[in-house]
Amino acid sequence: MLDRQQPLHFIGVGGIGMSALAGILAARGFRVSGSDPRRNAVTERLRGDGVRVFDEQGAATLTTLAGEPGEAPLVVVSSAVPDSNPELAEARRQGLEVVHRSDVLAALINAQPSIAVAGSHGKTTTSTLIATLLAATDRDPTAVIGGIVPAFGSNGRHGTGALLVAEADESDGSLVKFRAHLGVITNLELDHTDHYPNLEALIATLRRFAAGSRRLLANRDCPILREHFDAHAWWSTANPEGVDFAAIALEERGDGTTAEFFEDGRSQGRFDLPLPGRHNLDNATAALAACRLEGVPFDELRQAMARLQPPGRRFDCRGLWQERIIVDDYAHHPSEVAATLTMARLMISSGRSLLPRVPQRLVAVFQPHRYSRTAQFLDGFAEALTDADVVLVAPLYSAGEAPLPGVSSESLAEAVRLLAPHLSVEVASTLDDLASRVAAASRPGDLVLAMGAGDVNGLWERLGALDEQGRPTALAA
């Protein structure tokens, strides 16, 4: 589909999925442009990579590009670009070819040996770990990830090695276009209820992804995968018997895990994972298994494990604010919230932590994401949040959805109160109010864990802009 003679233009080029593709294609010699009104580190990096970035997003941008010598541009959009977008409308008026970002990603995945990582949870972390291990063992992979990979300082990387590692997002079903050399499915449970009417529809989509992969590596511990999928290789963190790969925890601490790695039931030796939590052991086991299937020796991988770091917004420590540890996390599904809080609890109970200090209490700041998701998973969110010492609920992030009757941040808070009457639960009316409530409800030594896929990740900046009385200043507005 991709022709080096035809330029590409990305509408919303600063997006996490779009920017990776734009940077890689520019590095491969394509003429790439894009538009994004947000001027930030991502767009500046793209400029440095040779991408022509327009700060304005309007019809004039397409008029400028269409009037330049050479072929007309191929216009790339994501699911986040609405039909009302003026650039998209102008592209269609001019008769330009418009494709979805998944079509461009599919062209890259299908053109070379590739590892595509799908699943309800952990796919960003797992694909990050695979790409990091391959780079650390001199395989020089290309990577297209839905988060910032610390080892690369970017969500995209153009490598000269044979392999490409990609995160395969199932949220809109577009991953069925991918023809991966190795497909990986981390786990599966109902999610993205705005797109999938039920679990059966999600399973059917992932089965199509699996069928399009030359080989499939899957998590044997997930009952849905075990029942509905026929994998070429399985991994487990529960039992080394009956699976191709397993990692069994020997010691779990707040600063990491020591585990023993098995292949076909035979021990290959121990390794130290510098990421705490059983969910991270699961992600790392998938990454080790994928690299072993690609022929990387275990001894090389064991040495490289020491360099592993989670992607951005995955238990991302922003710093200390008035002796509180502020951490940002992308968790926005009950299973993710529960796993993140369990990991934080492990830091408290073990007295060991990767954070600047060992936390004493856990303040959970959670932002519900979408009315449909909140309605579907209300009870699950409430149950997960009861593991905190203090719960603060941020204003619901609608992601453009229309409100649903009876679904709100307050309804979630009330569900938590019903399950744990002893727990301090507050609801913020605005993000500024949220920062003020965090300041009042927390105390030195607390871990303030901000979770959600919306704009709650701005909590660190808003806390820094509070005055001495804990009130928002003009900077926080």
The catalytic residues are 123-124, 167
Which residue shows structure tokens 């009950």? Answer: 334
Question: How far, in Å, CA of 270 to CA of 221, rounded?
Answer: 21
Q: Which residues contact 189 (CB under 8 A, 6 or more apart)?
A: 120, 121, 199, 224, 335
Question: How far, in Å, CA of 421 to CA of 415, rounded?
Answer: 10
Do the bridges between strand 316-321 and strand 324-329 make them parallel or antiparallel, or are there none, so unpaired? antiparallel
Element (H or E) spanning 233, and its range?
strand 233-236
Q: Are the C-beta atoms of 217 and 183 separated by less than 8 Å?
A: yes
Residues 51-81: b if buried by 16+ CB within 10 A, e if exposed: bbbbeebebebbeebeeeeeebbbbbbbeeb
CB atoms within 10 A of CB 195: 15
Question: How far, in Å, CA of 179 to CA of 105, rounded?
Answer: 11
Element (H or E) spanning 436, and its range?
helix 431-441
Q: Which residues contact 422 (CB under 8 A, 6 or more apart)?
A: none
Question: How far, in Å, CA of 427 to CA of 412, rounded?
Answer: 9
